[in-house]
Amino acid sequence: MTFHLGHRVTGVKASKSSCTVTVSKKDSSESFDIKADYCLVAIGRKPYTDGLNLASVGIQTDDKGRIQVNEHLETSVPGIFAIGDVVRGAMLAHKAEEEGVLVAEYIAGGKPHIDYNLIPGVVYTWPEVAAVGKTEDELKNAGIPYKIGKFPFKALGRARASMDTDGMVKVIAHQDTDEILGVHMVGPRVADVIMEAVALMEFRASAEDMSRISHPHPTYTEAVKEAAMAATANRPIHI
């Protein structure tokens, strides 16, 4: 896996069996070609609100075309709500689902709540990528002291047995309280494994709490336990 940071794509030529991507350094005329079997074009997404004639009923959008809503996901028109990809926040199906439940419960007279910090994100590549909570950069910018623990899948019995050894788990915890602030994973089945972190963070568990839970062996989840042990006092067992 190779990353070309600070670069931009200036052209793509495709044939029936291959493609050539021309890349140049940012603010430079220097360029080179990357040849591959496939080229995935991922230029981002935008809310699909064009043509809905929202202005005719008084619904307002922001500069990105997203429908503006309040904390109850109600638009500028009382009684009309909006959820999912057309409002602020991550464009994730499970985020939209939670928002739909929130709106239904609110209309029914309840007092629902969504913690958007605990909405997990997943990239369904192989190895998979999953994350929840804060990143190191976000904590640095907020001035929050933190510590980290990492554990590679290549040191895990289940990963070695299944020959899926790429990736790692990283646990970020508060330097003073040990509360788990973020968990980031690259590896096999982490789209499922990330839910352990989501559940524990929902109850504001510490890295030590995570490390003391008995994890079945051999499983991919053991990497979470080991990373938590590394975050607690730099004491993973199998590395």
DSSP assignment of 88-103 equals SS---HHHHHHHHHHH
Give the single-character DSSP code of 234: S
- Based on the fold, state whether residues 107 and 133 are members of the same structural domain: no
- Entry pTM: 0.83
- Total structural domains within the chain: 3
Same domain for 79 and 144, yes or no, is no
Domain check: are 93 and 144 in the same one? no
What was the pLDDT predicted at 237?
Answer: 75
pLDDT value for 158: 94
Which position has the token pair 């001035």? 143
CATH number of the domain encompassing residue 109: 3.50.50.60
Question: Is 189 domain-assigned?
Answer: yes
> What is the rounded CA–CA span in Å between residue 102 and residue 204?
22
105 in a domain, yes or no? Answer: yes
- For the chain, state the CA radius of gyration: 22
Instruction: Answer whether 20's CB lies under 8 Å from 34's CB.
Output: yes
Residues 199, 138, single domain; the answer is yes
Integer Cα distance of 90 and 104 in angstroms: 20
Residues 153 and 126 in one domain: yes
Question: Domain for residue 41, yes or no?
Answer: no
List the chain pLDDT tens, one digit each, 239 residues.
Answer: 788 999 999 999 999 899 999 999 888 788 999 999 999 888 788 898 988 889 899 998 998 999 999 999 999 999 999 999 999 999 999 999 999 999 999 999 999 999 999 999 999 999 999 999 999 999 999 999 999 999 999 999 999 999 999 999 999 999 999 999 999 999 999 999 999 999 999 999 999 999 999 999 999 999 999 999 999 988 887 78
Given this model, what pLDDT does residue 225 score? 96
Listed residue (195, 189, 151) closest to 170, CA to CA: 151
- pLDDT of res. 122: 96
Q: Output phi, psi for 7, to 5 deg.
A: -120, 165
* Domain range for 149: 121-233
- The answer to whether position 19 is within a domain reads yes
Specify whether 32 is located in the same domain as 78: no
Start-to-end Cα distance in the chain: 24
Q: Residue 128 has which token pair?
A: 């998979």
Co-location of 126 and 226 in the same domain: yes
Instruction: Say if residues 87 and 66 touch (Cβ distance below 8 Å).
Output: yes
Q: Which residues are catalytic?
A: 217
Domain containing residue 176: CATH number: 3.30.390.30
pLDDT digits (tens, 9 = 90+) for 143-168: 999 999 999 999 999 999 999 999 99
Round to whole Å and give the CA distance between 24 and 19.
Answer: 17
Same domain, 153 and 80: no
Q: What pLDDT, on a 0 to 100 scale, did the predictor assign at position 238? A: 77
- Which of 114, 131, 152 terminates a domain? The answer is 114
Q: Is residue 46 part of a domain?
A: no
